[in-house]
Amino acid sequence: MCGIVGYIGDKEAGQVLINGLRRLEYRGYDSAGVSLTNGDELCVVKRPGKVAALSQAVQEEPGSLRQHRVGVAHTRWATHGPPTQVNAHPHLDRSGRIAMVHNGIIENYRDIRAHLEQKGHAFDSETDSEVLAHLIGDYYQGNLLEAVCAALQKVEGTFGIAVICQDEPDQVIAARRGSPIVIGVGKNECVVASDAAAVVAVTQQVIYLDDNDVAIVTPGAVDIRDLNNVPVNREISELEWSDTSAELGGFEHFMLKEIHEQPDSIRNAIRGRMDFDNGTAVLSGLGTTPREISEVQRAIIVGCGTSMNAGMVGEYAFENFADMPTEVEQAAEFRYRNPIIKASDFVLAISQSGETADTLAAVREAIQKGAWVSGICNVVGSTIARETGRGIYLHAGPEISVASTKAFTCQVAVLLMIALKFGRCGRLSCTKGREIAKAIESLPMLVEQVLERNDIIAKEAEKWVETDHAFFIGRGYQFPVALEGALKLKEISYIHAEGYHAAELKHGPIALLESGIPVVALVNEAPGKEKTIGNAHECAARGARIVGLITEGDTETAALMDSVIEIPKCPDYVAPVPMAVALQLLSYHVARLRGCAIDQPRNLAKSVTVE
């Protein structure tokens, strides 16, 4: 979604800001802008479309602009008003001396706008953000910090903002409520950003703002207050990511790079967390004792999109390894339907970014109701990771492509480890625990074997170029993988794709089948395999083309399919990982052959920070 960068220091601010915006491009956006000041002037350059267009426009500005040492910049993902130049950020106050960039949504902006219009304010854009810029200007009496605090006390909704003022060119003011802000603290310089990806090029020393923090950012120093201007302490932490981890490294797309990183990212996710002697997992991040685990009555897993699909794999593992009644719920639904939650419930929030608005709200609801709440996040220091206070990091490294790949497989690996640990605190035997631990350990190798089949999968993709519709079917552990395979295909190739439980097709979706429509059947060695093969045949009888994801060497099943992709032989509870990797590659090659914008698909954002 929207991206913020602010800079103050001894470098050319315009250059640092544009570089920062480039590193936020992966989040998805439709316009971009920058504002710079040197105290004598405050200039704004905005463009619809890509950062490259903005960069070009900044180059064409008079030379003095390049000397400026302070500024703010933004990539906008339209919510209020279309992605036009006028709706792009930064927005100015009425005087034109204050510029602000904003992520989030000001819910009471209509009331504030009406109030300001009565006072003579006129607005150029349709955005809620411009209203906030005007409100700050309306309060301004020579002290930007005080004006920002006063304005933010009046707004309802969410914000991450960075503000500069021509009359106070020695600072950037940043603040947050519900929308992340991280501040990189370098030598004689600071970067404000909505995402650490925009900070790593400058420094790895960062401060994360909490809700209702306001920061006065000067070259190399940060002073944080609450909205009443009372100082608060926030620690400096070190980013795990290096400057090069967000680069393509020779791959054509970040998605392909991240697919290939999976053996290593899974190794990182499980490193130091397996106890093979005792057949269990060591997960100190959960911050709990075996006795507390044994008192848990129910697990509730919440997440959105791919993270929810991973959660569904987790549901099977919790039930099979730990006899734990488990529910998986779409986070937005969970937050609003007043769920029945007890202190004996274990609520597990899954989020790659750790910033997804609905998952965060679900976490807050569960904490409020007294459950034990943990997170599985990738982004260190993200809001969900901090608010849950305990949980497991994936350590997958930055996931840049909008389509989630390595986060999914690491989430599954972590869920299997948590289920194993819960099982071993209950009735799961040591022998069975060791067997599961060994299977989890084998995941990187299984993925490597699928990656070796890249050429076969690319060949299969050639048959999909003209496809309009596709179906994915599976049972048991492979049912969520069918959902994930369909999600991946639709988001990057724009082919209409649906995932179903194999038994569900006959209850309606089979009416959609026409000659040549591909149906991907996930048929590894698992209970229900023969039934899924039967369901695939029902589709074939209606003209569908059946692509089987089958176990390596299963010639009998292969003979029943129109084409096959083999995955290595493995227990069904770990098979979601190699299966998902095969489907990631299939989606990638189909989207590539169709000429799609793979890393930044239309209409999508990497991190969905609004409802």
Element (H, E) at 314: helix 305-322
Return d(Cα 561, Cα 549) in angstroms, integer.
9
359 belongs to the binding site for ligand M6R (CB under 6 A): yes
Residue 103 vs 353, nearer CB to ligand M6R: 353
Residue with smaller CB distance to ligand M6R, 171 or 306: 306
Which amino acid would we find at residue 491?
Answer: E
Closest among 581, 306, 274 to 444, alpha carbons compared: 581
584 binds ligand M6R (CB under 6 A): no
| Residue nearer to ligand M6R on the CB measure, 190 or 385 | 385
Are the beta carbons of 585 and 457 closer than 8 angstroms?
A: yes
Under rule CB under 6 A, residue 353 binds ligand M6R: yes
Give the Cα separation of 226 and 380 in Å (integer): 23
Q: Is 598 in the site for ligand M6R (CB under 6 A)?
A: no
Which residue in this structure is represented by tokens 């400057």? 243
| DSSP-derived 3-state class of residue 393 | strand
- Tell me how far, at minimum, the Cβ of 420 lies from ligand M6R, in Å: 22
Residue nearest to ligand M6R (CB): 305
From the CB of 354, what's the least distance to ligand M6R, in Å? 7
**From 2, 43, 377, 570, the catalytic residue:** 2
C-beta closer to ligand M6R: residue 128 or 258? 258
Q: Which of 404, 551, 600, 609 binds ligand M6R (CB under 6 A)?
A: 404
At its nearest, how many Å lie between ligand M6R and the CB of residue 379? 8
CB of 18 to ligand M6R, least distance (A): 26
Q: Which residues, listed in sequence order, are joined to residue 326 by a DSSP beta bridge?
A: 299
Does 19 participate in binding ligand M6R (rule CB under 6 A)?
no
Residue 47: both structure tokens together = 């463009």
Q: What binding mask, one character per residue, do residues 480-509 give for ligand M6R by CB under 6 A, x or -?
A: -------x---x------------------
- Which 291-330 residues touch ligand M6R, going by CB under 6 A? 304-307
Rounded to a whole number of angstroms, the minimum distance from the CB of residue 50 to ligand M6R is: 20
What is the distance between the alpha carbons of residues 471 and 190, in angstroms, rounded to a whole number?
A: 49
Q: Which of 371, 403, 419, 473 binds ligand M6R (CB under 6 A)?
A: 403
570 catalytic per annotation? no
Residue 267 CB coordination number (10 Å):
17
Q: How many residues bind ligand M6R (CB under 6 A)?
A: 17
Judged by DSSP in three states, 563 sits in strand
Query: Are residues 52 and 88 in contact, defined by beta-carbon separation less than 8 angstroms?
Result: no
How far apart, in Å, are the Cα atoms of 354 and each of 34, 178, 360, 390?
27, 12, 8, 13
Tokens of 165: 């003022």
How is residue 64 annotated by DSSP? G
Closest to 95 measured CA to CA, from 166, 9, 30, 144: 166
Instruction: Compare residues 130 and 498 and give the one whose CB is closer to ligand M6R.
Output: 498
Q: Are 559 and 550 spatial neighbours (Cβ–Cβ below 8 Å)?
A: no
Report the half-sphere exposure of 611 (CA within 13 A, side-chain side): 13
**Of 445 and 604, CB closest to ligand M6R:** 604
State the DSSP H helix or E strand holding residue 191, giving kind and residue range, or none if neither: strand 189-193
Catalytic residue of the set 46, 421, 529, 606: 606
Query: Which of 139-147, 226-234, 352-360, 537-545 is the region at the interface with ligand M6R (rule: CB under 6 A)?
Result: 352-360
- To ligand M6R, the closest distance from the beta carbon of 60 in angstroms equals 35
Q: Which stretch binds ligand M6R (CB under 6 A): 81-89, 161-169, 269-277, 401-409?
A: 401-409
CB distance 363 to 349 below 8 Å: yes
267 within 8 A of 403, measured Cβ to Cβ: no
Three-state SS string across 215-275, please? EEEECCEEEEEECCCCECCCCCEECCCCHHHHCCCCCCCHHHHHHHCHHHHHHHHHCCCEE
Contact string (CB under 6 A) for ligand M6R, positions 74-113, x = contact? ----------------------------------------
Closest approach of ligand M6R to the CB of residue 373, in Å: 15
SS percent in the chain: helix, strand, coil, step 5: 40, 25, 35
- Decide: helix, strand or coil at residue 197: helix
CA 368 – CA 371 distance, rounded (Å):
8
Q: Which of 55, 352, 551, 584 binds ligand M6R (CB under 6 A)?
A: 352
Q: Which of residues 70, 161, 300, 402 is near ligand M6R by CB under 6 A?
A: 402
Toward ligand M6R, which CB reaches closer, 105 or 152? 105
The binding track of 224-263 with respect to ligand M6R, each residue x by CB under 6 A or -, is ----------------------------------------
CB atoms closer than 10 angstroms to residue 45: 23
How far does the chain reach from its first CA to its final CA, in angstroms? Answer: 12
Rounded CA separation 262/447 (Å): 7
- What's the min distance (Å) between Cβ of 353 and ligand M6R? 3
Least distance to ligand M6R from the beta carbon of 606, Å? 7
* Smallest distance, ligand M6R to C-beta of residue 77, A: 13
For this structure, is 430 an active site residue? no
Residue appearing with tokens 């905005």:
46
Burial of residue 60 (CB within 10 Å: 0-12, 13-18, 19+) is exposed
Nearer to ligand M6R, 35 or 383 (CB): 383
Considering the complex, state which of residue 318 and residue 588 has its C-beta at the smaller distance from ligand M6R: 588
User: Hey, which residues are catalytic here?
Assistant: 2, 606
Which residue ranges make up the site for ligand M6R (CB under 6 A)? 304-307, 351-353, 356, 359, 402-404, 487, 491, 604, 607-608
